[in-house]
Amino acid sequence: MNLHEYQSKRIFAQYGIPIPKGEVATTPAEARSVAEKLGGAVVVKSQVLVGGRGKAGGIKLAKNPDEAQARAADILGMNIKGLTVEKVLVDEASNIASEIYLGAVLDRSRRRVVLMASGEGGVEIEEVARTAPDKIITVAVHPFLGLRDYQARILAEGIGLPKEHTSAFIKVAKALYQAFVEQDAGLAEINPLVITGENQLIALDGKMVIDDSALSRHPDLAEMADKSTEDASEQEAKAEGLSYIKLDGEIGCMVNGAGLAMATMDIVKYYGGSPANFLDIGGGASAQKVTAALRIILSDPHVKAVLINIFGGITRCDEVAKGFLEAINTLKVDMPFVIRLVGTNEKEGRAILEEADLQNILTATSLADAAQKAVQAAATQSGKGASA
């Protein structure tokens, strides 16, 4: 789960990392009153969960409350990479002497939290990694030891930080690591971490990604989720415990297991079709879950045919078959379905489907066969749509 800048910075502040004074506003008038309270120049920053806000015109300087109101009016409602700006953060403007990058990320191959620093602040770290990888200094943290002072010092010296800032930098780095671990982050970035004209370190911008698997033990963070970046059907799927991602094709896919779901999408494309979604019904899917999955797939008007590919391990094929018939009965659809059930209780599953004797159901044995039948069914259906 991605956190907004203001949410991330508030968490950083809880751990003692200095951040600019500021507040969130949802109307231009609110932005004005925040600017009045802060006094002096402010920065009005759009709060949307995409990179490149500055380039898109979503971050503006304002010299006084009048300007803050005008800039907030420009930015609120703006569309940045498909997302509408609903909130702005009004921060006091900082006197920037220099900018650096400091981030923490879970490195899966080293199996450690890694802290990264670079002298190139304000630039995306992926960009620095591409153009000047030697400018990124990293240290890996052992989970039993935590970030040690010497490691933070290696970062500070590696990026050529002036010595007078070393002890402040160590504090910030240790606080960032602590925030990362205690909040179950997958990524925590301060970019830029600025040295002000007053010789202080301040986290000017912040970003945190929280591990979805850990949200149950962070109810406060779970509440912060910005649902506006998710499609309505994706939200419904989440509530049903399904993993669903909407794509723009016309063959709805219902598969058990993430790997097989991806491979099913790949093979649909291989045979000339295009998948409408990724959907993993997970292990031990009940009839109720299957019904919900089909309802979500069919809510996409572009879907012309549905491919159901279930390989039974933990999931039992008879449960899937029952769930499928239940769904067909409640949803009353005459769309073509291609169903392939293999594995645990496959005979019982197939028997249930055969007894139902439905016209619009095709069965398949191999994955290639299933994909080809689905692609063909979707094409036929499109043809009908065009001639009708």
Does 247 sit near another protein (CB under 8 A)?
yes
Out of 101, 177, 250, 346, the active site residue is 101
Are 117 and 158 in contact by the 8 Å Cβ rule? The answer is: yes
| Diameter of the chain measured on Cα atoms | 80
Does 129 sit near another protein (CB under 8 A)?
yes
Report the nearest approach of another protein to the CB of residue 217 (Å): 8
Residues 103-122 that bind another protein (CB under 8 A): 106, 108-109, 111-113
Q: Which two tokens stand for residue 259?
A: 């790997």
Length in residues, the chain: 388
Does 367 sit near another protein (CB under 8 A)?
yes
Does 74 sit near another protein (CB under 8 A)?
no
Q: Determine the interface stretch with another protein among 10-18, 165-173, 286-294, 338-346 (rule: CB under 8 A).
A: 338-346
Does 366 sit near another protein (CB under 8 A)?
yes
382/231 Cα distance (integer angstroms): 25
Q: Would you call the peptide bond into 192 cis, given omega within 30 degrees of 0 as the criterion?
A: yes
Among 98, 196, 302, 311, binds another protein (CB under 8 A): 311
Catalytic residue status for 164: no
For residue 83, the SS3 value is strand
How does DSSP assign 310-348, residue by residue? Answer: EEESSS-HHHHHHHHHHHHHHH-----EEEEEEETTHHH
Does 266 sit near another protein (CB under 8 A)?
yes
Report the nearest approach of another protein to the CB of residue 216 (Å): 7
Report the nearest approach of another protein to the CB of residue 223 (Å): 18
Rounded (to 5) percent helix, strand, coil in the chain: 45, 25, 30
| Burial zone of 220 (CB within 10 Å; 0-12 exposed, 13-18 middle, 19+ buried) | exposed
Binding site for another protein (CB under 8 A): 106, 108-109, 111-113, 126, 129-130, 142-144, 181, 184, 186, 211-214, 216-217, 243, 245, 247, 255-263, 265-270, 275, 278, 280, 282-284, 311-314, 342-344, 366-368
Would you please indicate which residues are annotated as catalytic (active-site) residues?
Answer: 101, 189
